[in-house]
Amino acid sequence: MGERETELQTFLKTYREEIRESAVGLLSGEMPALSRDAFDLYEQNGNRTVYQGLYFPRRMFLAVLGMEAILEKEETGTVEFTVLFKLCEVIEGICGEDTWALPAHLNRKGNPGWRETVDLFAAETAQTLSELLDRLRDFLPEKVKDRMEAEISRRVLEPYYFSEVPYAGWEVGNSNWTAVCAGSIGSAVIHLSKAGRRLPKPLTECLDRVCAALPYYFQSFTDDGACMEGLQYYTYGMIYFANFAWELKKLTGKNLFQRPDIAAFPAKCFFPDGVSLSFSDGSSSDTFRVGLQALQAMEYGDVEFPAMERAAGLHSDSCYRFAGLKMDWFATLEYLRREEEKEGNGRSEEALGRAGKGYHFHILPSAQWCIGCAKDGTGFACKGGHNGESHNHNDIGHLIYEADGVLFLTDLGAGEYDREYFSENRYRAICNHSFGHSVPILNGQGQREGAAYRCTAFSADVKERPEKCPGLETAGQTSAAGVGTVRMEIGSAYSLSEEGKPLEGKAIVREICFDLENGKAKITDRFDLGEDHDVTENLVTQIAPVIEEPRVYLEQNGAKAVIEAEKLPGMAVPEIMVTEYDHRNHQGGAEKVYGIRWQVPLEMGRGVSSFTIRRI
């Protein structure tokens, strides 16, 4: 038995204990009641948190007790009365909700049928109830099953299948919405059909409409398999695509699994110490769903698993998405069974696809991302792209630098989701504004939002020696592992005109060298702006910096790094300043952010700024 299989068996054992323990705890608990006052808050002041703080714990009751009942049936052929009784009580409560959709996705004033809006969470609820009805059909009372069927049909299936294409923008949209909504609906009709329940239209017709929508979802991925929305949104969408595709293949033989490059994406998004890539509305403390990776490994062969320390558990997802929780058990179990059948065929440990071993420099040219790890464990990432991406931040040329689990140069990821966050005021939030990213500032202004503002040229490579990056040598030694190099033309992310015309791409060129031996990085910015302007370097951290010009020291939890601004010939030592910001993170918590800045000297609009960062 290989290392991966041993880890997965341990995961399943722990996961089963977690489900049982949590289910027992819920038996004596009560679901929180949904409040109309809480529902109204979004329309009144844009607050999502209060209502969702009631809504998602209700989905926890449904998912955890549902999983416990299903696993009891699988293990013993029966379901404990207390579990089944409580589950039926929860199902009745869910079926009695005014709407399954969330306030942020509704139009109560303009849509008289707003209660039957099919959004992400209405579709997910339909999927969950349909699968529970199918898997527990021999145990649930007929009255409860009839209510489940009626509510699923009334709230989700009928509004969708009795509408013209597209039902809403998500049906032909290039985002995770298409995968979640269409995948949930497709799964729901499969389970209702298996349970002998009524569908609004023939099964084949229902499935065909879902299958016609899903290609739009794949248009959201780059040609190298990257999800520009970030790892968190990748996982969200892929759970529902993969779940439906898995069920469809078992039912009909039709194979929707056609993109192995997409399956390889999650493992690229973790640094060896467990920090995750937080570009866009992502998170530096993200997890991966074991069942999703197991399912993709079965479909595509050698798919890397991130380190199991970053595996999501039962309570990692505060929305308690049942499809992901279910796959973590059944897909992982099926994967292990298949691997047992392969025992003795001479598989090597290398074929196990372990992520995060050794050093690497992943280059994703279509996404314009690079993700590297040095031999000493230092992590690095940078991005180009454009400022009209889904869940966009104005971050062209931005970079991350981390080691020992500490983000020295950070990406703040998602801020607090409220109405303002998805309005025309989105870029007032520091996490979305380019001031909240490690990119230059021109005339006191940041980058502009919109697809016109972009990285116009991107190239990356790994070179054996760092001759083109003088200053990377440490104590006279050159890199034995090589140097990852990146060149980005990022001028077109900015505008200096009142009309908002993007600058020439070559007006600002960012060159990065990352030593794959010792983790030292050198960043050189070249400016050719035609005439003198005020240009400031801006590096972003959440560690209070200590300045000893031209150096800046960062220390957290015993991990240390130093930034050194290069003194140009004939120029004074750069005067380093710190700007402090208040930031509200995705959970609504208050945090401090620091912008480390120094002015770039220009002559006739031309100048060079160079700095290094290394752990110490």
> Which element (helix H / strand E) includes 497?
none
Task: Give the dihedral of Cα atoms 562, 568, 573, 575; nearest 10 deg.
Answer: -80
What is the reported pLDDT for 353? 35
What is the reported pLDDT for 352? 34
What are φ and ψ of residue 25, in 5° steps?
A: -65, -30
Per the confidence metrics, is the pTM higher than 0.85?
yes
Q: Which residue has the tokens 């050093």?
A: 359
Distance set, CA 77 to CA 73, 135, 136 (Å): 4, 12, 11
What is the reported pLDDT for 465? 65
What is the reported pLDDT for 470? 61
Q: Report how far residue 115's alpha carbon sits from residue 155's, in angstroms, rounded to the nearest whole number.
A: 7
Q: Find the angle CA(209)-CA(213)-CA(216) to the nearest 5 degrees.
A: 165
HSE, CB side, 13 Å, CA atoms: give it for residue 217.
28
Q: What are 402's strand-pairing partners?
A: 379, 407
Q: Report how far residue 247's alpha carbon sits from residue 256's, in angstroms, rounded to the nearest whole number.
A: 11
What is the reported pLDDT for 471? 62
What is the reported pLDDT for 217? 97
Q: Which residues of 560-581 are buried (b: 16+ CB within 10 A; e: fewer)?
A: bbbbbbbeeeeeeebebeeeeb
Helix/strand/coil (H, E, C) string of 454-490?
ECCEEEEEEECCCCCCCCCCECCECCCCCEEEEEEEC
Q: Report how far residue 225's alpha carbon sits from residue 193's, in angstroms, rounded to the nearest whole number.
A: 33
What is the reported pLDDT for 481? 82
Q: Report how far residue 189's alpha carbon sits from residue 201's, in angstroms, rounded to the nearest whole number.
A: 10
What is the reported pLDDT for 474? 46
Mark the ranges of the chain whose per-residue pLDDT is less than 70. 1, 344-357, 465-480, 570
Q: Report how far residue 482's alpha carbon sits from residue 93's, in angstroms, rounded to the nearest whole number.
A: 60
Per-residue tokens: 290: 């074991």
Shortest CA distance to 323 belongs to which of 245, 420, 252?
245
Shortest CA distance to 585 belongs to which of 412, 331, 436, 352?
412
